[in-house]
Copies of this chain bind each other. A is one copy, B any other.
Amino acid sequence: MSIVTSPRFRSSPAESWPGYRLPVREPLRLDCGIDFGPFTIAYQTYGTLNPDRSNAVLVCHALSGDQYAADPHPITGKPGWWQSLIGPGRVLDTDRYFLICANVLGGCMGTTGPQEVNPATGEPWALSFPVITIRDMVRAQKRLIEHLEIDSLFCVIGGSMGAMQVLQWAASYPDCIFAAVPLAGAARHSAQNIAFHEVGRQAIMADPDWCGGRYLSLGRNPVQGLAVARMAAHITYLSEAALHRKFGRNLQDRLSVTYGFDADFQVESYLRHQGSTFVDRFDANSYLYITRAMDYFDLAAEHDGSLASAFNGTRSRFCIISFTSDWLFPTSESRQIVHALNAAAANVSFVEIATDNGHDAFLLHEPELFETLRGFLNGCAEHRGLGRSP
């Protein structure tokens, strides 16, 4: 009854994946106290950097995302996760902006993470990889931006964990970002969200093929555990209303229930599919590390408990966006960010978009989201001297 035929491994070698690789030689001082490096950042770009180097937009991906925001995924062949937003004439207009999207530190699509070989041992890092934070991810991105000789990003934008990175950029490097757009985000990970992450991690670590994290060295892969983790997480990305609208209690290719444990219901079949396809493109240890980074995120805690202090003196323009049916990162979380930005006298817009698409709304075709982003970015572009909108 396994939903994943085990063992499976990612079939396509990382060397063949398109995009850029930046080797970073100077070690990075991580929050855990370790000087980490050298390491590699894998990234994609879309559009052209203007002569002023003033039109760069950093796109930050979410937990299960990667740098392939606007071109086909090298393993799945599926369109980029923000394909609908990025392109000529689109909201993130590649005729106008230079977009950069980097795989996060700890990821598994080319940037150094636990599945990469530790040069000191010749074995994959596995659990000897240092536990990283959202701030560490942003520190690594800062190296990339410096390498590209960009002093100031026009905008940093991202949803969910991407929004955490946006907020961290605003707090860590306020003079380097002109505009910031955190979507469906929070300034700290909630108890409920930590709890869901812990379930996913326990599902992975309970899989005997996890082998204390050493599965790659042993030729194994905890695909069952990772699939269960993905299934649990996937429920939290959707709203109850969307699940009801999409699936309800509809049966999967049958006229009546079978009185068994097959996927009688469409929603079961859909979830199993989400679990079994995820393991083809994601590394289980990366899942542990990235969820942990999200759990640890608490921007106020970095500033003596005052979120407003994180944004003191900022001159960036903020557009905070939440979605009514998002129960994972509810509007109340975005409101806290808005309150803190107001307390810091920042330039902030706040839009709550009515949709039943839940947390996933930031990845979907939401006309009001697109219009909001277009308006905000056009306004910022004018102030930045990037010219009127075409």
Partner-B contacts on A (CB < 8 A): 1-3, 31-32, 127, 130-131, 188-192, 194-196, 198-199, 201-203, 205-208, 212, 224-225, 227-228, 231-232, 235, 238, 240, 243-244, 246-249, 257, 259-261, 263-265, 267-268, 271-272, 275, 288, 292, 295-296, 298, 301, 327, 330
Contact = CB atoms under 8 A, between A and B. Distances in A.
B292 A261 contact: yes
Contacts of A243: 190-192, 195
Given A235-B195, A259-B32, A205 B265 contact: no
Contacts of A208: 208
A208 to B, nearest CB: 6
Most buried by B among A127, A244, A257: A257
> How many copies of this chain?
2
A261 B288 contact: yes
11 contacts: A3-B206, A131-B259, A131-B261, A188-B249, A189-B249, A194-B268, A198-B271, A202-B275, A203-B206, A206-B224, A261-B288
B267 A199 contact: no
Q: Which 5 A-B pairs have the closest CB atoms?
A: A206-B224, A32-B259, A131-B259, A191-B243, A192-B240
| Residue with the greatest number of chain B CB neighbours at <10 A, chosen from A130, A198, A264 | A198
Given A190-B243, A202-B3, A327-B327, A195 B267 contact: yes
**Which among A235, A244, A260, A275 has the highest number of chain B CB atoms within 10 Å?**
A235
A28 to B, nearest CB: 15
Given A202-B231, A205-B1, A191 B257 contact: no
Contact of A228 (B228, B249, B288): B228
A2 B228 CA distance: 16
A238 to B, nearest CB: 8
Nearest to A210: B1
A1 B261 CA distance: 29
